[in-house]
Chain A
Amino acid sequence: GDQVEQSPSALSLHEGTGSALRCNFTTTMRAVQWFQQNSRGSLINLFYLASGTKENGRLKSTFNSKESYSTLHIRDAQLEDSGTYFCAAGISGGSNAKLTFGKGTKLSVKS
């Protein structure tokens, strides 16, 4: 099965509202990254976490390595937040730097 299970696969929000995206890991991960892929296909770094919680503007992310999950909270959604959000993680104890990606959450923000 997939090592990184991301949900939901799609999400629609009205401007000003918020929601949470989640990634569950089936194996112990050493760190997680969250990316936004915009309409031009570029991957924008949002967060890198080895543990704990980070916040940046309207975004907040948590990585719980013991319980094997990470979340990305979006509040006060804006139209420019539309895109596909990916989590990606590296396996703990591995000698390589391979990131395993989730399948993504397609976010549509509507006015």
Chain B
Amino acid sequence: DPKIIQKPKYLVAVTGSEKILICEQYLGHNAMYWYRQSAKKPLEFMFSYSYQKLMDNQTASSRFQPQSSKKNHLDLQITALKPDDSATYFCASSQGQGLEVFFGKGTRLTVV
């Protein structure tokens, strides 16, 4: 059974629209993250949260906003979508910051 659940698996969005990517982890971890993988760039870190608090933001654009409603949830809201946002977005978690990180299966976003 997957312990980090990402929804949806695939997502097609129109340029300018807004989408929310869902992530829930059932590993009992305290730290959660978002990473992005596109055809043009290797896997890159976006955000880290620890105990539902933002610890690090490496995303230049404010169009990307993480939302943590519960300790084991970290959703990603993306507004004003652009074709360049097309990528696979991975949610991840670890017991604590700096410890082994585990990844969900990703949400593949295509912006048309």
The residue on B at minimum CB distance from A6 is B42
Kindly list chain A residues whose C-beta atoms are within 8 Å of the C-beta of B99: 48, 97
Residues of A within 8 Å of B72, CB to CB, are none
The count of chain B contact residues (Cβ–Cβ below 8 Å) is 25
Please tell me the number of chain A residues within 8 Å of chain B, measured between CB atoms.
Answer: 23
A97 to B101, CA, bound (A): 9
Partner of B97, one of A42, A43, A97, A100: A97
Number of residue pairs A-B, CB distance < 8 angstroms: 56
Contacts of B44 in A (CB 8 A): 101
User: Residue A88 at the B interface, CB < 8 A?
Assistant: yes
Q: Check B56 against A104 for contact (C-beta < 8 Å).
A: no
Binding site for A on B (CB under 8 A): 31, 33, 35, 42-45, 48, 50, 55-56, 58, 88, 90, 94, 97-103, 105-106, 108
Query: Can you name 27 A-B pairs with beta carbons within 8 Å?
Result: A30-B98, A31-B98, A33-B101, A40-B105, A41-B88, A41-B105, A41-B108, A43-B90, A43-B103, A45-B103, A48-B99, A86-B42, A88-B43, A88-B101, A90-B98, A95-B55, A96-B97, A97-B33, A97-B55, A98-B45, A98-B58, A99-B45, A99-B101, A100-B45, A101-B42, A101-B44, A102-B42
